[in-house]
Amino acid sequence: MAAEALRLAAAVLLLLCGTLSFPLGPETNPATTCGYESCHATKANMLNVHLVPHTHDDVGWLKTVDQYYYGDRNDIQHAGVQYILDSVVDQLLKNPDRRFIYVETAFFYRWWKRQSPSMQQTVRQLVDEGRLEFVNGGWCMSDEATTHYSAVIDQMTMGLRFLNETFGACGRPRVAWHIDPFGHAREHASMFAQMGYDGFFFGRLDYQDRTHRMVQLEQELLWRASDSLPPPTADLFTGILPNGYNPPEGFCWDQSCDDPPIRDDPDLEDYNVNDVVSRFLGIAKAQATVYKTNHIIMTMGSDFQYENANLWYKNLDKLILYVNALQANGSKVNVLYSTPSCYLQELHRANLTWALKTDDFFPYADSDHDFWTGYFTSRPALKRYERISNSNLQTCNQLEVLAGPASRTGPFGEGESQTMKKAMAVAQHHDAVSGTEKQHVANDYARRLANGWQRCQVLVSNSLAALSASSAKRIYCDNLNISVCPLTESSRKFAVTVYNPLARPVSWAVRLPVNGSAYAVSDAKGAAVDCQVVPVSAATRGVRRNRGFAVNELVFQVQAPPLGYSTYSVSLLQNGPPPASMKPRHPAAIQNEYLRVTFDPDTGLLSSLANLETKQSIKLTQNFYWYNASDGNNTESNQPSGAYIFRPNSSTPFIISQTAKTETVQTSVVQEVRQWFSPWVSQVVRLYAGSRALELEWTVGPLPIDDSLGKEVITRLDTSIQTAEVFYTDSNGREVLRRKKDFRPTWTLKQSEPIAGNYYPINSRAFIKDDADQLTVVTDRSQGGGSIHNGSLEIMLHRRLLYDDVRGVAEPLNETSHIFPDGLVVRGRLLLSLERPPVAADTHRLIAQEMVLQPLLTFTDGDLNPNTRLEFSGLQAALPPAVHLLTLTQWDQDLVLLRLEHQFQSWESKVSSQPVTVSLQKLFSTMEVVGVSEMNLSANQWKDEMRRFAWAPQTDETPVLKTFQDISPWEVTLRPMEIRTFLLRVVLR
Ligand SMILES: *[C@@H]1O[C@H](CO)[C@@H](O)[C@H](O)[C@H]1NC(C)=O
Ligand SMILES: *[C@@H]1O[C@H](CO)[C@@H](O)[C@H](O)[C@H]1NC(C)=O
Ligand SMILES: [Zn+2]
């Protein structure tokens, strides 16, 4: 108690003095020489070759993350991370000149926990002396195409926090390192810049782009990764590695390689030093011609290498010795052990200007028929599960903070969020949510998420019990999307609590599987809520198989307050009206107060969409098609479609059906036209009362393969909008990028795959527009898409393939499960909105956000205890619409991490693209904020201590954007697209 009061007083005192940097002083420890100071000296008048010993350790791919750690299942792939770290530490101790970088904290953390205190001390010393250096340092090396920024920030925060807490400032990586991801997102670059990295290196980019950059000496560049944040906030120096992430040809000395060792005994027959040195000099000099400075980098390592590090280091020691020995005879090549940050420091010292890039590195092709655009959609069920898991985790994190310690130990036992945090963090890996892992590994990621969610459920139940003063047992229904929920299917009286993780109130349509035909629903104030009962569709019965038996769905609108819940009571009516009836065929139109959609009388397809508020209308047809996946047998190339690569046999997809069989249900709450295209494709066109979005709920699968043809199913929207072959996609769920068919902004494209070469990742939304109309499609997971024809937007929904695409996974992407031995069925939703540009953004931006962070439903059976608190908000007031509460999570005892985000781009909206000020003190209803300090985006540095290298662009036409000062440390101002991260000291009220 006394201690708490003291700290509180200190925080208030600091506030009065106007400085708020608690709780630590400067991070530098003068006794150590890690970081840039620990780099080996270079020679100004020579070509300096930086040798970077490294290992690339996938956090799951052909084996699960645990199998990789232990070196289990070496029959699948010889790889054991624990042995790599053992061996490297041993070898680093043998020669202080040696260097090693380590990247994936998910593995390092596992290893560290199992080391003795003396080994930990030894490793600490290696880190303090810069001999072992962490780069990137997130829990994993995330995929860039299919990850959502919120989950990427979380996984980076988790890894970097472990490094800081274990090693202090010397554990802080200076360089971001994405050597393997298959294309690079602009939003990742923006995040890395805001996380304080001085530079970024990667290995893969389009082969034409690379050729162009080699000629132009632009393999090192300055990436300006935001058009809203004032430079240099989102500027990131970016280097493209010379050889992917492999050693130069002939210089792989790992136990997994066959290159000749350096045989340096002149008495022996096989003496080869002269040969090795001259080959090396040749490669170094050739490499220097395509980079700008007298420094070049060579990555000495590859996938899971250094398990027997002696082999590598023994030969590298000799290489350095013999190459540098020639300097005595006038050689101008200097080789050294180095790290990416030491190399970066030399580039920075060169004081040059660098080409400025403002677009991104998608799509990635490694040859003319080999576009890595299939993984944008691969494993659509896992992609959705990952996305909904993020939503559930954010809810779990928020409730842990809002209810305090009661959430961790309460009536339901010990709850915790750590398991789910780790499961989400490994799921961001570039072979996880990307869908490019083996099937058993995909199952492992899903199992981890499910385990995590179970632990979080206990926490959520405890929190809701504390906040509502009711310890009634909470039941979770994770299969509502297929109308399965044992409680609602059988109960005559139950309550549903809707928790809203957004910082503004939301309305949401709830659909509950039931077997009664009439129900009464009342809200938290006891008022009756309009509700309707509609029959469960044949498609839903098909996809749920034998997992539930509801015949009807109860549908009603709920409202939930910001960061809070509202509880609705549901009871079965004995003598109520019958359920709404299905009518055969479709009406000419369905409409609500905002939207009107019409259907073609003959085909049953959509024919137009109108916004009744803005009085705009477009022609809109939508249908389903499939591309025949290449089996690799054709004249241009033998590349098949696979988990990574999308390669249709023909640019014209097959139509699944010209017409849809339809039936319709129309009620005061919802109107649905159910379309049936084939036994494996159906859809519901759905319009809820009061909604500004038209919902298309698609159900696709099992994709038939009895014709021996792999299938890639798309839906295509064809409109009257004049798009001039341009469309727009979001980057990791944040800023939007312009895409033009057969065009790349920084080089002249020779297009060789007219469909696959025009596909881009759609993370949460894509749109097409002209001067009058903007049609936005919000997706519920990452998907690939393109605009191949004027006015058209296509989205790939599902893929089932019969061949491996020869990129290592060595399995065809042919997903089945015990419930779906005949092939996975996947269901999802697209939300369509029609707006008037250029002020279009508000509606679709908010719809997209509601799709990412969804309300969580919990159920209690029977009557509610009369003392139950039926409504609660964790905020004193809703945040302004432009502000998104991105993170609220427990950091430490009485410390919470808060991220606030301005969610509009600077040009996006007249109303919302303005700076907004938020008061931190008046934010929460359950706790008082007594101290605040601002951190960098990844929360591993105090904001005022963040210093980054400055880099100059060759040309700079970016308009100068205004910066703003906070009114006070408690009143923080957010500019368009800005995310601000705060550590708050809180006291529960
Ligand atoms: C880094 O970790 C140390 C403990 O090792 C902690 O005291 C400090 O607050 C951390 N720094 C940041 C920025 O979180
Ligand atoms: C870097 O270059 C600029 C412009 O050429 C020059 O003004 C500046 O002094 C240089 N800085 C260093 C440290 O050499
Ligand atoms: Zn990898």
The domain that holds 268 is classified in CATH as 3.20.110.10
540, part of any domain: no
- Which ligand 1 atom is at minimum distance from the Cα of 27? 11
Same domain, 628 and 768: yes
- Please tell me if the CB atom of residue 165 comes closer than 6 angstroms to any atom of ligand 1: yes
Is residue 10's pLDDT more than 50? no
Q: Do the beta carbons of residue 986 and residue 929 sit within 8 Å?
A: yes
CA of 64 to the centre of ligand 3 (A): 13
Predicted local confidence at residue 30, as pLDDT: 45
Same domain, 636 and 767: yes
Same domain, 753 and 847: yes
* Phi, psi (degrees; rounded to nearest 5) at 576: -80, 180
Mutation probe of ligand 1 site: the residue of 22, 27, 942 with most atoms within 8 A of C-beta: 27
Same domain, 879 and 848: no
Q: Do the beta carbons of residue 234 and residue 978 sit within 8 Å?
A: no
DSSP-derived 3-state class of residue 119: helix
pLDDT tier at 136, thresholds 50, 70, 90: very high
Indicate the pairing of strand 235-240 with strand 199-202.
parallel
Q: Whose CA is nearest to atom 13 of ligand 1?
A: 941
Give the Cα separation of 616 and 774 in Å (integer).
Answer: 10
The DSSP bridge partners found for residue 133 are 101
CA of 7 to the centre of ligand 3 (A): 45
Entry pTM: 0.96
Q: Where are the beta strands (DSSP E) in 246-321?
A: 295-300
| Cα–Cα distances in angstroms (integers) from residue 615 to residues 592, 767, 770, in the given order | 14, 19, 16
| Cα–Cα distances in angstroms (integers) from residue 652 to residues 356, 625, 628, 754, 907, in the given order | 37, 9, 9, 10, 37
The strand order across the sheet containing 736-740 reads: 583-584, 661-666, 670-678, 681-688, 694-700, 826-835, 774-779, 765-769, 726-730, 736-740
Residue 427 amino acid letter:
A
Give the Cα separation of 151 and 204 in Å (integer).
Answer: 23
Q: How would you label 814-838 residue by residue, b for 16+ Cβ within 10 Å and e otherwise?
A: bbeeeebeebbbbbbbbbbbbbbee
Predicted local confidence at residue 32, as pLDDT: 67
Q: Whose CA is nearest to atom 8 of ligand 1?
A: 24
DSSP-derived 3-state class of residue 266: coil
Give the Cα separation of 700 and 824 in Å (integer).
Answer: 9
Q: By percentage, how much of the chain surpasses pLDDT 70?
A: 96
Burial of 659 (0-12, 13-18, 19+ CB in 10 A): middle
Give the Cα separation of 137 and 121 in Å (integer).
Answer: 20
CA of 434 to the centre of ligand 3 (A): 11
Ligand positioned closest to the Cα atom of 431: 3
845, part of any domain: yes
3-state secondary structure 872-888: EECECCCCCCCEEEEEE
Same domain, 390 and 274: no
Ligand positioned closest to the Cα atom of 59: 3
618, part of any domain: yes
Q: Do the beta carbons of residue 604 and residue 586 sit within 8 Å?
A: yes
Tell which residue, 227, 220, 329, 212, has the closest CA to residue 746. Answer: 212
Predicted local confidence at residue 27, as pLDDT: 42
Q: Do the beta carbons of residue 481 and residue 543 sit within 8 Å?
A: no
H or E element, residue 737: strand 736-740
Predicted local confidence at residue 24, as pLDDT: 36
Is residue 918's pLDDT more than 80? yes
- The tokens describing 449, both together, are 């998420």
508, part of any domain: no
573, part of any domain: no
Q: By percentage, how much of the chain surpasses pLDDT 90?
A: 92
Task: Give 766's contacts (C-beta < 8 A, 6+ positions apart).
Answer: 727, 728, 729, 730, 776, 777, 779, 785, 793, 795
- Please tell me if the CB atom of residue 25 comes closer than 6 angstroms to any atom of ligand 1: no
CA of 942 to the centre of ligand 1 (A): 9
Tell which residue, 172, 138, 196, 700, has the closest CA to residue 432. Answer: 138
- More confident of the two residues 718 and 7: 718
Q: How many domains does the chain have?
A: 4
Task: Give 456's contacts (C-beta < 8 A, 6+ positions apart).
Answer: 392, 393, 396, 415, 416, 417, 419, 420
Same domain, 813 and 898: no
Give the Cα separation of 654 and 625 in Å (integer).
Answer: 5
| Cα–Cα distances in angstroms (integers) from residue 589 to residues 166, 582, 671, 694, in the given order | 62, 16, 10, 13
Q: Whose CA is nearest to atom 6 of ligand 1?
A: 165
Task: Give 660's contacts (C-beta < 8 A, 6+ positions apart).
Answer: 603, 604, 605, 675, 676, 677, 683
Is residue 23's pLDDT more than 90? no
CATH of the domain at 972: 2.60.40.1360
Domain that holds residue 164: 32-357
Give the Cα separation of 52 and 912 in Å (integer).
Answer: 47
Residue 888 amino acid letter:
L
Of 785, 819, 852, the last residue of a domain is 852
DSSP-derived 3-state class of residue 264: coil
Give the Cα separation of 779 and 493 in Å (integer).
Answer: 34
- Please tell me if the CB atom of residue 164 comes closer than 6 angstroms to any atom of ligand 1: yes
Q: Of how many residues is the chain composed? A: 989
CA of 169 to the centre of ligand 1 (A): 8
Phi-psi region of 792 (alpha: psi -120 to 50; beta: other; left: phi over 0): beta
DSSP-derived 3-state class of residue 794: strand
Q: Do the beta carbons of residue 374 and residue 643 sit within 8 Å?
A: yes
DSSP 453-485: HHHHHHHHHHHHHHHHT--PPPB--TTGGGT--
Tell which residue, 648, 724, 737, has the closest CA to residue 361. Answer: 737
Predicted local confidence at residue 959, as pLDDT: 65
Predicted local confidence at residue 958, as pLDDT: 66
138, part of any domain: yes
Q: Do the beta carbons of residue 199 and residue 222 sit within 8 Å?
A: no
Same domain, 403 and 277: no
Number of H helices, E strands in the chain: 17, 50
CA of 165 to the centre of ligand 1 (A): 6
Q: How would you label 267-301 residue by residue, b for 16+ Cβ within 10 Å and e otherwise?
A: eeeeeebeebbeebbebbeebbebbbbbbbbbbbb
DSSP 424-443: HHHHTBTTTTTS-S-HHHHH
- Which ligand 1 atom is at minimum distance from the Cα of 940? 13
Give the Cα separation of 774 and 794 in Å (integer).
Answer: 15
- Which ligand 1 atom is at minimum distance from the Cα of 941? 13
CA of 968 to the centre of ligand 1 (A): 25
The single-letter DSSP state of residue 208 is H
Mutation probe of ligand 1 site: the residue of 128, 164, 195, 936 with most atoms within 8 A of C-beta: 164
Predicted local confidence at residue 21, as pLDDT: 38
CA of 982 to the centre of ligand 1 (A): 14
pLDDT tier at 961, thresholds 50, 70, 90: low
Same domain, 318 and 385: no
Give the Cα separation of 754 and 820 in Å (integer).
Answer: 34
Residue 867 amino acid letter:
N
Mutation probe of ligand 1 site: the residue of 24, 128, 943, 982 with most atoms within 8 A of C-beta: 24
Tell which residue, 354, 362, 320, has the closest CA to residue 202. Answer: 362
Q: Whose CA is nearest to atom 4 of ligand 1?
A: 165
Tell which residue, 601, 502, 610, has the closest CA to residue 559. Answer: 502
Q: Whose CA is nearest to atom 7 of ligand 1?
A: 24
- The tokens describing 953, both together, are 């662009």
895, part of any domain: yes
Same domain, 340 and 390: no
In the numeric block, the tokens 């368009």 are attached to 976
Q: How would you label 790-804 residue by residue, b for 16+ Cβ within 10 Å and e otherwise?
A: bbbbbbbbbbbbbbb
CATH of the domain at 397: 1.20.1270.50
- Which ligand 1 atom is at minimum distance from the Cα of 945? 13
684, part of any domain: yes
Mean pLDDT (the chain) is 94
**What pLDDT digit, counting tens, does each position of 967-988 carry?**
888 899 999 999 999 999 999 8
**What pLDDT digit, counting tens, does each position of 235-294 carry?**
999 999 999 999 999 999 999 999 999 999 999 999 999 999 999 999 999 999 999 999
Is residue 488's pLDDT more than 70? yes
Same domain, 92 and 225: yes
Residue 900 amino acid letter:
L
pLDDT tier at 12, thresholds 50, 70, 90: very low
Q: Whose CA is nearest to atom 2 of ligand 1?
A: 165
CA of 56 to the centre of ligand 3 (A): 6
Q: Report, as an integer, the average pLDDT of 195-201.
A: 98
- Please tell me if the CB atom of residue 157 comes closer than 6 angstroms to any atom of ligand 1: no
DSSP-derived 3-state class of residue 781: coil
Burial of 381 (0-12, 13-18, 19+ CB in 10 A): buried
Ligand positioned closest to the Cα atom of 165: 1
Q: Whose CA is nearest to atom 9 of ligand 1?
A: 24
- Please tell me if the CB atom of residue 168 comes closer than 6 angstroms to any atom of ligand 1: yes
Give the Cα separation of 387 and 782 in Å (integer).
Answer: 8
Same domain, 806 and 905: no
Indicate the pairing of strand 606-611 with strand 616-628.
antiparallel
- Residue 675 CB neighbours (<10 A): 28
Same domain, 677 and 806: yes
Give the Cα separation of 467 and 444 in Å (integer).
Answer: 34
- Please tell me if the CB atom of residue 24 comes closer than 6 angstroms to any atom of ligand 1: yes
Ligand positioned closest to the Cα atom of 952: 2
**What pLDDT digit, counting tens, does each position of 721-745 carry?**
999 999 999 999 999 999 999 999 9
pLDDT tier at 9, thresholds 50, 70, 90: very low
- The tokens describing 896, both together, are 């919470």
- The tokens describing 235, both together, are 């500027």
Catalytic choice (143, 180, 227, 842): 180
- Distance from chain centroid for Cα 795: 19
**What pLDDT digit, counting tens, does each position of 32-43 carry?**
689 999 999 999
pLDDT tier at 223, thresholds 50, 70, 90: very high
Mutation probe of ligand 1 site: the residue of 165, 893, 897, 941 with most atoms within 8 A of C-beta: 165
Of 421, 450, 467, the last residue of a domain is 467
Give the Cα separation of 372 and 382 in Å (integer).
Answer: 19
- Which ligand 1 atom is at minimum distance from the Cα of 169? 1
Tell which residue, 138, 182, 40, 190, has the closest CA to residue 901. Answer: 190
Ligand positioned closest to the Cα atom of 58: 3
**What pLDDT digit, counting tens, does each position of 778-828 carry?**
999 999 999 999 999 999 999 999 999 999 999 999 999 999 999 999 999
**What pLDDT digit, counting tens, does each position of 644-662 carry?**
999 999 999 999 999 999 9
CA of 220 to the centre of ligand 3 (A): 22
Of 852, 867, 891, the last residue of a domain is 852
- Please tell me if the CB atom of residue 940 comes closer than 6 angstroms to any atom of ligand 1: yes
- Which ligand 1 atom is at minimum distance from the Cα of 23? 9
Give the Cα separation of 852 and 860 in Å (integer).
Answer: 25
Residue 603 amino acid letter:
T
- Please tell me if the CB atom of residue 941 comes closer than 6 angstroms to any atom of ligand 1: yes
Active site residue 180: yes
- Which ligand 1 atom is at minimum distance from the Cα of 166? 5
CATH of the domain at 594: 2.70.98.30
